[in-house]
Copies of this chain bind each other. A is one copy, B any other.
Amino acid sequence: MPELTIGEVAHQAKLRTSALRYYESIGLVSASRRVSGQRRYDQSVLQRLTVIQLAQEAGFTVAEIKALFFSFPPETPAFERWQAMAKEKLVQINGLIQKAEAMKMLLEEGLLQCRCLTLEECAQCISERQP
């Protein structure tokens, strides 16, 4: 199994080399080095990056993803890690959804229904709708 250059990894994982260097700088992935200093990646980094992208899609920050990998006792099963972290995240996401739904409401039922001629009037017009 050949080792991969940073460019090859970037290509396969569909991200930029700068992102890989950034991940390394925060300790999220690691690479070995040639004598010259160039990075060489093991194939397994691709799985690691897939998991990182998966976690990002679920709304985790890179700091949280780092915690996912490194803040549990080494033998902790993956599903336990997800359990622990996904529960909290769900609460956050639900908050996000609620906020966005509230914005949608305000836009549809408030601002798009408004008949004020001046914006100054709107200081009252909307609040009257929510007693």
- Main SS at interface, chain A: helix
Q: Looking at the complex, which one of B93, B106, B121 makes contact with A57 (CB distance below 8 Å)?
A: B106
- Asked whether A120 lies within 8 Å of B51 as measured between CB atoms, the reply is yes
Nearest CB in chain B: distance from A17 CB, A: 21
**Contact of A119 with B81 at beta-carbon distance under 8 Å, contacts A93-B100, A93-B107, A94-B104 already known:** yes
**Contact of A86 with B112 at beta-carbon distance under 8 Å, contacts A47-B123, A121-B78 already known:** yes
Q: What residues of chain B lie closer than 8 Å to A15, measured between beta carbons?
A: none
Question: How many A residues have CB within 8 A of the partner chain?
Answer: 48
Nearest CB in chain B: distance from A39 CB, A: 20
* Residue A23 is within 8 A (CB to CB) of chain B in the complex: no
